[in-house]
Amino acid sequence: MKRKYTYPLLMMVVITLIVLGEKYIENQEKNELVKAGEVVKSQELSFFFPKAESNTLVYHEYYTLSYNEPAEQAAWVAYMLTPDQLKRVEVSRPYFDIDAAVMTGAADWRNYKNSGYDRGHLCPAGDRSFSSQAYNETFLTSNISPQLHEFNNGVWNRLENQVRDWARGYDKVTIVTGGVLADPLATIGHENVIVPRAFYKIVLRETASGYTCLAFLIPHSESDRDLKAFVVSVDSLEAVTGIDFFPKLENSEENRIEKEKLLKDWKF
């Protein structure tokens, strides 16, 4: 073979091997992150998980989620919040990053670009400002949902601040939150990320006589109404979302806290 053909051919082989090697390393790193996301980080928190298929669960260090692939976002995110976790350290706001621990592949942050919607946190960055690692973890795309800015910065933000007040006042609260994924307002981006018609948040704590919780269901629009106006029973929230919340509680306890609006147990 003439030399003028040999050199280009060798270059093609070298480039192909480099590309294949990079792809192999990328796949290995992805597999390692997926495996890390399959390891339960908190047995205490896992007791309060809603019912979910095991292959949808992603266990991060500071929150856990169940990923809904058709909706390209979490069906729910769960985490605990304590007063110590509300102590802030100096952190730099990172870029949003695709969550490589989601087996099926999390949504690309570019879906949100010029969409008219905020990248709305489910586990708020403000609840994880006690360390850079915890803070950065909230900027994974599995932890965001399309939210109108006036909603994200308005009534939803008011509820997040109220939850922080409860964490300070009651020592520890458990939160389960997400968007209502049925009957969406719209979809955005090349992956058709669902825009929820409403968002929910359940806040639970333990008392001397058992557990108590409040469930909120808020339409996806700005509102200056009192937060109490959005309180619903967990049973009614289950009917709207199709999610079975707190299945590991004793049946009598689950029935008690899910049937009623337990406003009397919470200080606003």
With b for 16 or more beta-carbon neighbours within 10 A and e for fewer, the 34-49 pattern comes to: eeebeeeebeebeebb
Sign (positive/negative) of CA torsion 222, 224, 225, 230? Answer: positive
> In 3-state terms, what secondary structure has residue 114?
coil
> In 3-state terms, what secondary structure has residue 107?
coil
Report the pLDDT value the prediction gives residue 156, as an integer from 0 to 100.
99
Report the pLDDT value the prediction gives residue 23, as an integer from 0 to 100.
52
Output the tens digit of pLDDT for each of the chain's 268 residues.
Answer: 555 556 666 666 666 655 555 554 455 454 565 575 677 888 899 999 999 876 789 999 999 999 999 999 999 999 999 999 999 999 899 999 999 999 999 999 999 999 999 999 999 999 999 999 999 999 999 999 999 999 999 999 999 999 999 999 999 999 999 999 999 999 999 999 999 999 999 999 999 999 999 999 999 999 999 999 999 999 999 999 999 999 999 999 999 999 989 899 999 9
Report the pLDDT value the prediction gives residue 54, as an integer from 0 to 100.
64
Which whole-number Å values give the CA distances from 202 to 21, 137, 265, in the listed order?
A: 46, 21, 14
Binding-site residue numbers are 152
Contact indicator for 155, 218 with CB cutoff of 8 Å: yes
Contact indicator for 170, 82 with CB cutoff of 8 Å: no
149 is catalytic: no
Report the pLDDT value the prediction gives residue 41, as an integer from 0 to 100.
80
* Cα distance between residue 70 and residue 193, in whole Å: 8
Question: Is residue 97 packed enough to be buried (19+ CB in 10 Å), middle (13-18) or exposed (0-12)?
Answer: middle
Report the pLDDT value the prediction gives residue 24, as an integer from 0 to 100.
45
Binding-site residue numbers for Mg(2+) are 152
With b for 16 or more beta-carbon neighbours within 10 A and e for fewer, the 143-168 pattern comes to: bbbbbbeebbebbbebbbebbbebbe
What residues contact residue 149 under an 8 Å CB cut-off, 6+ apart? 117, 118
- The model's pTM: 0.87
Question: Is residue 10 packed enough to be buried (19+ CB in 10 Å), middle (13-18) or exposed (0-12)?
Answer: exposed
Q: Which of 60, 121, 190, 220 is catalytic?
A: 121
Report the pLDDT value the prediction gives residue 14, as an integer from 0 to 100.
61
DSSP letters spanning 42-66: -HHHHTTPPP--GGGEEE-SS-EEE
